[in-house]
Chain A
Amino acid sequence: MNRKWLLALLSLAALGVILLGITWRAAKPMPHITQPDQCMQCHSDMSDIDHAHPTEIFGCAKCHGGNAFATDKTNAHKGIVRNPSRLEHAVIFCSECHSDIIKRISNSLMQSESGILNVLAYQWGESRELNSTIGIDELKQEFNSSSLAQNHFAKACAACHINQDETVFDNPETTRGGGCSDCHRTSKTKGTQHATYTTRIPSSNCLKCHNRSNRIGLSYQGIFESEGYGTPYKEGNFSNQLADGRSYYALPADIHHAEGGMDCIDCHTEKGVMGDGKKHHHMEEAEDIKCQDCHTPKFAPANSLAVTLTDLNEKMSEPKTIGFTSKMNSPLYHLRPEHNGTTLYRKRDGKALSVTAMSNQPYHSDAIHQRLDCSACHASWAPSCYGCHEVYFENGKQFDWIQKKVTKGEWQEYRSFLRFESPSLGIGYNKKIMPFAPGCQVIGTLFKDKKVEKFHAMAMAGWDPHTTQKKSRTCVECHFNPATLGLGRGNLNIHEGNITFAPFFQSAQSGMPFDYPIDAFVSVEGKQFQSTSRKEARSFNKGELRRIVEAYRCILCHDSYSDPIYRDFNHSKVQFEKEETSCFKN
């Protein structure tokens, strides 16, 4: 009996030794450098997040917290954070190196969404302050439940901001937020594969948010959110649908995308995107890049930031002479003078693109068009959604993206019609002439308890639609097109010296609570019908409308910009008014 027991014990011991031997052999040899933390005992095979943060050196606890020197899982995992890139964590874990960026992004519009919130409150008559910096964080502290604008913002807009809680989204394809991860993460953690991070931000990350409202990200790729027919039907199903079910169709994409294959970050600098630390009121204040930064570049020796960014980018050679943005003097480390021209290296893959220099042809150099923003002529189309009919059910329920729970009140959105062609022009936030689209034309119906209330807040907004083409719009497209002039669709004419316009759309008869055509920014007499959300922004006034349309009298025959009359157009006009020109000869 005893012998039997001994034998059993011995064989168990032998098995133990063998097993130990196997595990000993399977274990990694100790690294030459000291392990950064005890976490590596279990997670030694966790992959790197990027080449700047190797796990071998950083370990886990530096970013994720927890108890770095505990030897058991329970103690080790106490207090760890899953996503340290959320801004409230990043300020603790990442500040040692990235304090500057964390401060900047925390103050940025992509975090606060204060631009959207305040324009909304202004448009809806709840605030007279266009330049407020109240944003999501302030609403989290103090939410005014009687404010319709705040309610609408919380339910319809606040889903998109950098620090949104990723876990509240059901659909992985429409998940947003997560702090730094929102933009910088390129893959999610899977097993021992750590999520990967990059400074070569793929545009798809930008598109997670920049696909609605003015739809810049979609338009840039030539995607026009369409009327929702789902046509053509393919294999018995709807085609051309975005991940969230909206329909679209393809229009000519921005030339930078179509021909250059450029990503958002090829124009938009880190400062322009993550902010310069100031709390800005509107996107254009925070924006850094201008068309001329590449197309009439100013080169200078690379600074240290340029070297760092190039190093992080890994796709291009060391910078010597590079471009800088004219507004914030940010290094465009990928824009370099080469081969008697300018070369732009795509940040994502380092591919060299030759940049067309802005010509000094009369159409660019003449005084008469100095007030035009590049987009006025070069933006070929603009998503224009007329009529944003907001319906509010006070007793309904809907997810609140700030409180992260279903709360009272529900919004539904309806619309009148869409257009992409002949974007309207007006005077933009920079006092330059640029495309305008409805932004937003809110016609609200509020179902409150037992009564129905109506309100409307009609506004047009100017912006660069990101549908740039090399070929500009034609002279007639602006000088004799009522839609472009902001009059709306209809018949424009010059009759016995007077400019006349007969609009097509009959608003009152179409049930709108106003008389002017819904697509009219301004009347032919220069009366502005709809507001804007910037102090400087407005429609053309009477004098401007007259000047633009009357110029058509010249354009009819002098339809080329190289025509000598445009060299000094004001002089030509004086001659013309005196009937000294040959126009009157026969």
Chain B
Amino acid sequence: MLQKLIFPLLLPLILFAKESCIDCHQEQSAKCEKSVHYTLSNAINLTRKTWGITDSNVTLQSIPLPKTKIEKPADLVDDFLRRKCLKCHPFNRSSGERGMKRGIGCLSCHTPHQPEGSCQRSSKITMKKCLSCHNKGFVGGDYQGLFPKDHHRSYRAPLSQDGHFPSQKYGIDHHTLISDIHYQKGLKCVDCHKAEEMRGDAKASCTGCHAAPSPTNHPDYHTKLTCTSCHASWNYTAYELSVFRDDTPDYAKWKDLTLQEDGYLTNFLNKALKAKKPPKPRMPDWIERKQAEGIWYSGYRYKRWEHFVLANYDDGRIGIIRPLFQYRISYRDRNGTMILDDVRTIDGKPIEAWIPHAPHTITKKAKSCESCHANPLIMQPYSGENEVLKLQVPQNMIGASPLSSEQIKRMGSVKYKRVRGKMLLRP
């Protein structure tokens, strides 16, 4: 059974790579098959754990087929992953969005030798290639200063000089915020993220290039901090993601919300809203690459670029975390029965995961001390009952744990004030 499942997945790689790439690049191909680009195990297992499969350990190749009997979020997660998240994998060429077209297999990232078949070096991996997956609110989009706008039609502004809507990319329009200093200087993703990392042998780090941070600006009490804690300027934070699989043809209400960062959905809704006879609600399973019943809709509560919080990473460092995501889950079957109606907790715990995050929005000048030491999200997290403000307080973390009250106390200690005071008083 498992083999039957994996085979269609591997087929393109086998067909394509076996005959052309693997002949020469056996070692790379073997390593690639273990890399997260190939298995997507991080994204898959994070989401499955968040949705209630605590011991999840699957890959793109071994993720089960979606369940047909749905009783709880865990029964729906594979369907959700296959149709909303796993659009981006090395065997899917396109999901309909501008900017998200790729090659298949090795060609997802690499451009073939030119002229084809010759043994000349393949051209460098362009940012366009990386951004074809690493876009929107994820690292990559932020590197270029892109911040996806809100979904509603009324956010399609400003209109261009000749009166057109701004151009969509990755299934949404974007605001432009300050971009990463490395981007401004012309560095591409692969200038830091080298081949070894892609194949799982190493990890890019700032210190790979910036060997010796000067001790005056990087004193001993900050040794555990990630560089991005101070040097990342803004941070994409999306509070609460409501997701809804609807197996009924109920489209009219989405007329102002056709842009949901999902090109297939946009095209589908645009057609469905015009059609005399509404089409059946169907959306592709991007692994099986065939249509399946139901449409997945989604929407946030609100998004911010100026918010961030710190936590203790499991590896001992202290750094930024953000929610990916805070879910509320609904499912309506074809008979119109709400099988899951806005489910937001599993065993009393919110369906959310705050995870370590390195915003690629680096600036040379670090943020002010106050960005953390007087950051109300860190120093006085909201303690009231308001549902909207409560979202800013992490409940569940994966890969990190909250700062202790002792740590927070230290951040506002007399010692801190003395050091900061000196900086402020005696320039």
Q: How far is the CA of A552 from the CA of B303 in the complex (A)?
A: 29
Q: How far is the CA of A418 from the CA of B157 in the complex (A)?
A: 13
Number of contacting residues on A, CB 8 A? 64
Q: Are B338 and A236 in contact (CB under 8 A)?
A: yes
Q: Are A417 and B149 in contact (CB under 8 A)?
A: yes
Q: List 28 A–B pairs whose Cβ atoms lie within 8 Å, in order of A's numbering.
A: A227-B303, A228-B150, A228-B155, A230-B257, A232-B342, A233-B242, A233-B297, A233-B328, A235-B341, A235-B342, A236-B246, A236-B248, A236-B341, A252-B384, A252-B389, A414-B157, A415-B154, A418-B302, A480-B370, A493-B365, A494-B423, A494-B427, A506-B178, A510-B175, A553-B421, A557-B417, A583-B425, A584-B425
Known contacts A232-B328, A414-B154; A250/B387 CB under 8 A = yes
Residues of B that sit less than 8 Å from A by CB? 145, 149-152, 154-163, 166, 175-178, 233-234, 240, 242, 244, 246, 248, 250, 253, 256-257, 297, 299-303, 305-306, 328, 330, 332, 336, 338, 341-342, 344, 363, 365, 367-368, 370-371, 374, 376, 384, 386-389, 417-418, 420-421, 423-427
Q: Does A523 contact B (CB under 8 A)?
A: no
Chain B residues whose C-beta falls within 8 Å of the C-beta of A493 in the assembled complex:
365, 367-368
Q: Are B368 and A229 in contact (CB under 8 A)?
A: no
Q: What is the CB-to-nearest-CB distance from A246 to chain B, in angstroms, rounded to a whole number?
A: 10
Chain B residues whose C-beta falls within 8 Å of the C-beta of A363 in the assembled complex:
none
Q: Are B368 and A492 in contact (CB under 8 A)?
A: yes
Per-residue interface assignment for chain A, residues 458 to 494, with 1 indicating a CB less than 8 Å from any chain B CB and 0 otherwise: 0000000000000000101100100100000111111
Chain A residues whose C-beta falls within 8 Å of the C-beta of B158 in the assembled complex:
387, 389, 414, 416, 443, 445, 510-513
Q: What is the CB-to-nearest-CB distance from B81 to chain A, in angstroms, rounded to a whole number?
A: 19
Q: Does A391 contact B (CB under 8 A)?
A: yes
Among B152, B157, B248, B421, chain A packs the most CB atoms within 10 A around the CB of: B157
- Residue from the list A480, A504, A513, A556 in contact with B306, Cβ < 8 A: A504
Stretch of A16-24, A303-311, A348-356, A495-503 on the interface side: A495-503
Q: Are B306 and A416 in contact (CB under 8 A)?
A: no
Q: How far is the CA of A230 from the CA of B154 in the complex (A)?
A: 13
Q: Are B150 and A234 in contact (CB under 8 A)?
A: no
Chain A residues whose C-beta falls within 8 Å of the C-beta of B384 in the assembled complex:
252
Q: Are A229 and B242 in contact (CB under 8 A)?
A: yes
Chain B residues whose C-beta falls within 8 Å of the C-beta of A489 in the assembled complex:
234, 305-306
Q: Are A495 and B338 in contact (CB under 8 A)?
A: no
Q: How far is the CA of A387 from the CA of B297 in the complex (A)?
A: 27
Q: Are B156 and A236 in contact (CB under 8 A)?
A: no
Q: Which 9 residue pairs across A and B have the least CB separation, nearest first?
A: A228-B152, A414-B157, A229-B299, A389-B157, A509-B176, A497-B427, A231-B242, A493-B368, A452-B163
Q: Are A232 and B242 in contact (CB under 8 A)?
A: yes
Q: What is the CB-to-nearest-CB distance from B262 to chain A, in angstroms, rounded to a whole number?
A: 14
Closest to B178 in A: A504
Chain A residues whose C-beta falls within 8 Å of the C-beta of B328 in the assembled complex:
231-233
SS of A interface (majority): mixed
- Residue from the list A251, A387, A494 in contact with B389, Cβ < 8 A: A251
Chain B residues whose C-beta falls within 8 Å of the C-beta of A226 in the assembled complex:
301-302
Q: Does A93 contact B (CB under 8 A)?
A: no
Chain A residues whose C-beta falls within 8 Å of the C-beta of B157 in the assembled complex:
387, 389, 414-416, 443
Q: Are B374 and A476 in contact (CB under 8 A)?
A: yes
Q: How far is the CA of A230 from the CA of B336 in the complex (A)?
A: 19
Q: Are A229 and B425 in contact (CB under 8 A)?
A: no
Q: In chain A, residues 206-247, which have Cβ atoms closer than 8 Å to a Cβ of chain B?
A: 224, 226-238
Given contacts A417-B150, A556-B421, list 18 more A-B pairs with CB under 8 A.
A227-B151, A228-B155, A228-B257, A231-B242, A231-B300, A232-B242, A233-B297, A233-B328, A234-B341, A235-B341, A251-B388, A416-B149, A492-B368, A493-B368, A509-B145, A511-B158, A512-B158, A586-B418
Known contacts A227-B155, A234-B341, A387-B158; A506/B177 CB under 8 A = yes
Known contacts A493-B365, A502-B363, A556-B421; A229/B250 CB under 8 A = no
Q: How far is the CA of A480 from the CA of B367 in the complex (A)?
A: 13
Q: How far is the CA of A556 from the CA of B412 in the complex (A)?
A: 9
Q: What is the CB-to-nearest-CB distance from B269 to chain A, in angstroms, rounded to a whole number?
A: 14
Q: How far is the CA of A447 from the CA of B162 in the complex (A)?
A: 9
Known contacts A228-B152, A491-B233, A509-B145; A236/B418 CB under 8 A = no
Chain B residues whose C-beta falls within 8 Å of the C-beta of A495 in the assembled complex:
365, 427
Chain A residues whose C-beta falls within 8 Å of the C-beta of B365 in the assembled complex:
491, 493, 495, 500, 502
